[in-house]
Amino acid sequence: MSTTLELAKKLIAQPSVTPDDHDCQKLLVEVLEPLGFTCETIMSNGVTNLWAKHGNTAPLVIMAGHTDVVPSGPLDKWASDPFSPTERNGKLYGRGAADMKVPVAAMVVGAKEFIEKHPDYTGSIAFLITSDEEGPATDGTILVCDLLKKRGEKPDFCIVGEPSSLQKQGDIIKNGRRGSLSGRLTVKGIQGHIAYPAIAKNPIHLALPALAELAMEKWDSGNAYYDPTSWQISNIHAGTGAYNVIPCEVVIDFNFRFSTENTVDSLQQRVQSILDRHALEYELDWSLSGLPFLTPEGTLCEALSKAITDETGVIPQLSTTGGTSDGRFIAQICPQVAEFGPLMTTIHQIDEHVPIADIEPLKNIYRRTLENLLLK
């Protein structure tokens, strides 16, 4: 059994459902400390974070990930226990195999091999690992990044080990992510008997023209890296449950997935302008999950792309699709952030797995990327 596979199995065996790290990070410290990493555990509201650093000179490369996983779902639907790592038909099964205990193990072992082979490298390597990525993400990476900023840490590059590959390992590098801005719109009306609409005011009818305009609005045209910004309604709630009552209000939940062509302020102002134009009586509450970030083609993307091609022969494509990740927090303190990891096809699913044949190449890609960034 390879060192990477052995560590990955140990991590998968820990039922570390958000926010419980379940001692996964202790397993990482056991590998990192003997290499000379200074390891710091940062606790917050039941979340465990690890900041481990080797070296004190520039450039500083962060390797980031998470040890928490989503719940397994119905156990009887799994072909094997989700927290008993199982090899079957050339695949490693278990909750978190792809998202993201195999890539965490691969990053740690890849860094170990790099340091052992190149003890006099120029620069520093750090690990930022959290148990709060799959949850609210309020006490994990964002908290550590705030702490690092206060300390004056200046990372140059960050590789996030999120599963990114789509059809075969190495085909996709995420060099950015869209921002996520949610809103809850409450349009007011007057409740009444549905047979007497003249003495009531139906908030659903009042809201519909504004919602239609919002749905048809072109927020931007995107750019070379991003699709156009998207506005989508996720939920509409209204009514008392009776068929003959006009409701007093309607509540609409919506979300922007927005590119770097827009800002939070510009989107909020445009929504409010449309609502005001329709003379609605409304309340609007906003929630920002993350700002967009973008790493154009340059040092990090080139180092990662070369490592992938040299190891696998695959020529990766840059992409900004998908949901949010902790890269959005790291990008606030680090100028170049990219995500790369194993196949994403079974993440969060029953019988989550990764091909065993992909594990060692993944570790080698992380090691090669460090070599491309830190060896002169």
Q: Is 21 annotated as a binding residue?
A: no
- Is 66 annotated to bind ligand? yes
Q: Quick one: which of 221, 247, 225 has its CA closest to 236? A: 247
**Residue 22 labelled as part of a binding site:** no
Strand partners, 251: 186, 237
Is 217 annotated to bind a ligand? Reply is no
Rounded CA gap, 94 and 290, in Å?
29
Question: Residue 348, annotated ligand binder?
Answer: yes
Distance CA 40, CA 110 (A): 20
Residue whose C-alpha is closest to residue 319's, from 338, 300, 299, 303: 338
Task: Please list the active-site residues.
Answer: 68, 133
Binding residues are 66, 99, 134, 162, 348
